[in-house]
Amino acid sequence: MKNIAILICIPFFIQCSQTIASGSSDKKEVVTNSISKARENNESHHLTLVQKDSIKDFTNLSEATWRKILTEEEFQILRKKGTERAFTGKFNDNKKEGIYVCKGCDTKLFSSNTKFDSGTGWPSFYDKIESNVEEKQDNSYGMQRIEVVCNTCKGHLGHVFNDGPKPTELRYCINSLSLDFKEQ
């Protein structure tokens, strides 16, 4: 039995718990509702806070749970393999030192030490952090590309190409919406 504590912000003060079937798993998701401070502040999107620390297996979450963890934009990229428009991502020009982690599950994916300006409009790195990034063949849209996903939650990050700088000559072309940044 795996327990997942999820805090949902809604405009009612109700505490409850419910069990959500997820595939063959008997996973029990404890959902706690409380007054929405976000709603009080008139924030119209992403009213939900999820305690990701308590999730043991990110590969078996329901679409409904992912929608509680991610904003709609993040969901479309990470879970539906979307691509953000070039030069619109918040990390494209980020030059601070730190670690880029998965927006879905907080796994460390890329270091600022390997970030470079590719001119493409997307955050670009010439290397990944160990085996935390998985590479998969992607033949969609009539192209043969290598998709990169988070090895922990399998969320879509972007693609890797072989036209990057030394020493790897790789270019990991990543959506900002797939990432969060921990400054160091």
Which positions are catalytic? 173
Give yes or no for residue 102 binding Zn ion (CB under 5 A). yes
- Closest to Zn ion by CB, 22 or 36: 22
Sites for Zn ion among residues 2-61 (CB under 5 A): none
Q: Which amino acid is it at 148?
A: V
Calpha distance 75→26 (Å, rounded): 24
> Least distance from C-beta 15 to Zn ion, angstroms?
29
Cα–Cα distance for residue pair 145/148, rounded to 1 Å: 10
Contact between 104 and Zn ion per CB under 5 A: yes
Binds Zn ion (CB under 5 A): choice among 150, 157, 170, 179: 150
The tokens describing 117, both together, are: 């300006």
**Minimum distance between the CB of residue 163 and Zn ion, rounded to whole angstroms?**
26
What residue spans of 33-179 are helical by DSSP H? 37-40, 63-69, 72-78
- CA angle at 130 for the pair 25 and 184, rounded to the nearest 5°: 100
Residues β-bridged to residue 8: 33, 48
Query: Per rule CB under 5 A, is residue 155 in the interface with Zn ion?
Result: yes
Residue 148 touches Zn ion, criterion: CB under 5 A: no
The minimum distance between CB 90 and Zn ion, in angstroms, equals 18
Binding interface with Zn ion (CB under 5 A): 102, 104-105, 107, 150, 152-153, 155
